[in-house]
Structure 1
Amino acid sequence: MNSVQLLRGRLRPVLMGLLVGVACVTSVRADDGVALTSIDQVPDGVEVRGKQVAAYTWDDRQGKNLLVLAEQVSEREDDGTQSAFVYAAQYLIDGSRPKRVWMLYDDVQRCEFDAALRFDRGATKVTDLTGDGVTQATVGYSRTCTSDVSPNEFKLIMHVGKSQKYRLRGVDRYGAAWWDEEAGALRGMPLPTDCSVAGQQALVSQYKEQGTELPLPGCYGDEKDFAKAPEAYLAFMRQHWFALMQKQDAEWSQAQAQPSQPTEEDDTAP
């Protein structure tokens, strides 16, 4: 079952209440220079559904912002099914009580196989792409209900204020390649560099044995959400998507190419 947790803490003064007495504070920077501060404890009035996996604060023209990320995977039910969810929310915390700007919730219910939803922490970015002091918060996560090693659904979502949301939805690079023992090399379709339909189909024509279902592993389906968005939004999201997929592809490929470690039985066998 979904759990709701309200973490109690002192809210005033806002800046001191957030940054003093926190067990671990780490400053990082988004690509365009928006400063993020990672915190362990969120203030009173901030809702956290599931297990908190990250929380960040930053300043923009609207004031002091808080982004919280949480996940949960349930134990299996009596019928063997499993559920999971992810939760994210952005708050403004300059007033006497935090005010939620937006909330994200996605789940897999009663999965007969293995349910999983996980944030890609590297996808979390805060940007000011239009230079007006109003920031955009972007998060990304994978979603699956499967019994094998195969690519997951992946969503990269940018929120701008209370009502604007822009998404790229597709498939990640998990399980997209495998080690061919006979050839001594990785096999599988390479990471696409062009997610247009024509670009994906051109790649499929070179790797027919991989099938023709689109989007391909590492690609998103379309860019329809950005039809009326500032050009800078889509340019950033394209670049960010491919950077995340390149990292996933490198990590997965490296894991597959690692030689298997001998077991104790192998060591003692004649």
Structure 2
Amino acid sequence: MNSVQLLRGQLRPVLMGLLMTVACVTTVRADDGVALTSIDQVPDGVEVRGKQIAAYTWDDRQGKNLLVLAEQVSERDDDGTQSAFVYAAQYLIDGNRPKRVWMLYDDVQHCEFDAALRFDREATKVTDLAGDGITQATVGYSRTCTSDVSPNEFKLIMHVGKSQKYRLRGVDRVGASWWDEEAGALRGMPLPKDCSVAGQQALVSQYKEQGTELPLPGCYGDEKDFAKAPEAYLTFMRQHWFALMQKQDTDWSQAQAQPQDPTEDDGSAP
């Protein structure tokens, strides 16, 4: 648990050309974000904690950047508890030694139920919102310690350079609806479209849900981190949050509405 793995990959003689010549690379562009190149092997000097699930490179005014994402879930301890963590870091590939710009680490320790932290790969975005060649790297992940299928804590985090960090923290859409066999339809509060306190309370009032706490599934708590941030940052993060929650809501709803496979064993006697 919490092991640190330093990958020792083969580094090209000309480091500037490294990330253009690595085998098995794919270039992806999401919305209006910066084009990212996905790589399997990171260079010497890049720390990876846990199991690497993704690594991306891109260029901006500062040079060549690398973002690595990793996760780990432990086996259960002797007392039956479980732990998990996520790790992310951005590096500048400068000269012969990668320089870490920032690092993210979050964990669940000694969970008595099921511990889980997972990156939402759809959340990974690199943007140049000011158009000045300085990029912002955004990642998102879910965090939980539960014994049932219910919404998880969700964090969407934007890093700008070494010290600036902006977050939206709330609850995702997993388990927010369920299939009502008698009605033949999905039940549950719809995905909120307004995460202000007033907007969330209006939705609670409209659907008369009992015992519901804010934030609602699919919403974040507040926008305090953005009080002194450029307006474009908050605009992007709001749009990105709701796009992610809409996809989660659609995927979850479709999974719940799928008819049961008649070939599956229902537990009854033949």
TM-score (norm 2): 0.95
How far is 1:208 from its partner? 2.0
Secondary structure in 1 aligned to 2:24? coil
Tell me, in whole angstroms, the C-alpha distance in 1 between the residues paired with 2:136 and 2:161: 7
Secondary structure in 1 aligned to 2:220? coil
Q: Which deviations, in whole Å up to 9, do the C-alpha atoms of 1:224-245 show, x marking residues without a partner?
A: 0000000000000000000000
| Contact 2:15 2:96 (C-alpha < 8 Å) held by counterparts | no
**Residue 132 to residue 149, structure 1, CA distance change in 2 (3 Å):** same
Tell me, in whole angstroms, the C-alpha distance in 2 between the residues paired with 1:54 and 1:122: 12
How far is 1:206 from its partner? 1.5
Tell me, in whole angstroms, the C-alpha distance in 2 between the residues paired with 1:7 and 1:18: 15
**Residue 268 to residue 148, structure 1, CA distance change in 2 (3 Å):** closer
How far is 1:24 from its partner? 2.0
Backbone CA RMSD of aligned residues: 1.8
**Residue 265 to residue 150, structure 1, CA distance change in 2 (3 Å):** closer
How far is 1:132 from its partner? 1.0
How far is 1:265 from its partner? 4.8
Tell me, in whole angstroms, the C-alpha distance in 1 between the residues paired with 2:54 and 2:152: 22
**Which of structure 1's runs of 4+ aligned residues deviate more than 3 A?**
10-23, 263-270
How far is 1:11 from its partner? 3.4
Tell me, in whole angstroms, the C-alpha distance in 2 between the residues paired with 1:57 and 1:19: 7
Tell me the percent identity: 92
Stretch deviating more after TM superposition (168-177 or 210-219)? 210-219
Tell me, in whole angstroms, the C-alpha distance in 1 between the residues paired with 2:264 and 2:141: 38
Tell me, in whole angstroms, the C-alpha distance in 1 between the residues paired with 2:130 and 2:265: 61
How far is 1:255 from its partner? 0.3
| Contact 1:188 1:210 (C-alpha < 8 Å) held by counterparts | no
How far is 1:269 from its partner? 6.9
**Residue 14 to residue 226, structure 1, CA distance change in 2 (3 Å):** farther
Tell me, in whole angstroms, the C-alpha distance in 2 between the residues paired with 1:260 and 1:97: 54
Q: Which deviations, in whole Å up to 9, do the C-alpha atoms of 1:88-121 show, x marking residues without a partner?
A: 0000002210000000000000000000000000
How far is 1:263 from its partner? 3.8
**Residue 229 to residue 13, structure 1, CA distance change in 2 (3 Å):** farther
Stretch deviating more after TM superposition (238-247 or 206-215)? 206-215
Secondary structure in 1 aligned to 2:267? helix
| Contact 1:155 1:170 (C-alpha < 8 Å) held by counterparts | yes
Secondary structure in 1 aligned to 2:209? helix
| Contact 1:101 1:162 (C-alpha < 8 Å) held by counterparts | yes
| Contact 2:39 2:57 (C-alpha < 8 Å) held by counterparts | yes
| Contact 1:27 1:37 (C-alpha < 8 Å) held by counterparts | yes
Tell me, in whole angstroms, the C-alpha distance in 2 between the residues paired with 1:198 and 1:159: 29
**Residue 264 to residue 147, structure 1, CA distance change in 2 (3 Å):** closer
**Residue 17 to residue 131, structure 1, CA distance change in 2 (3 Å):** closer
| Contact 1:11 1:17 (C-alpha < 8 Å) held by counterparts | no
**Residue 191 to residue 266, structure 1, CA distance change in 2 (3 Å):** closer
| Contact 2:93 2:99 (C-alpha < 8 Å) held by counterparts | yes
How far is 1:210 from its partner? 4.7
Tell me the number of residue pairs that the alignment of Structure 1 and Structure 2 aligns. Answer: 270
Equivalent position of 2:16 in the other structure: 16
How far is 1:3 from its partner? 1.4
Secondary structure in 2 aligned to 1:266? coil
| Contact 2:19 2:57 (C-alpha < 8 Å) held by counterparts | no
Q: Which deviations, in whole Å up to 9, do the C-alpha atoms of 1:172-208 show, x marking residues without a partner?
A: 0000000001111000000000000000000000122
Tell me, in whole angstroms, the C-alpha distance in 1 between the residues paired with 2:155 and 2:265: 43
| Contact 2:33 2:125 (C-alpha < 8 Å) held by counterparts | no
**Residue 156 to residue 264, structure 1, CA distance change in 2 (3 Å):** closer
Equivalent position of 2:256 in the other structure: 256
| Contact 1:189 1:210 (C-alpha < 8 Å) held by counterparts | no
Tell me, in whole angstroms, the C-alpha distance in 2 between the residues paired with 1:45 and 1:105: 18
Q: Which deviations, in whole Å up to 9, do the C-alpha atoms of 1:11-39 show, x marking residues without a partner?
A: 34455663366442110013224110000
**Residue 15 to residue 247, structure 1, CA distance change in 2 (3 Å):** farther
**Residue 19 to residue 78, structure 1, CA distance change in 2 (3 Å):** same
Stretch deviating more after TM superposition (172-181 or 201-210)? 201-210
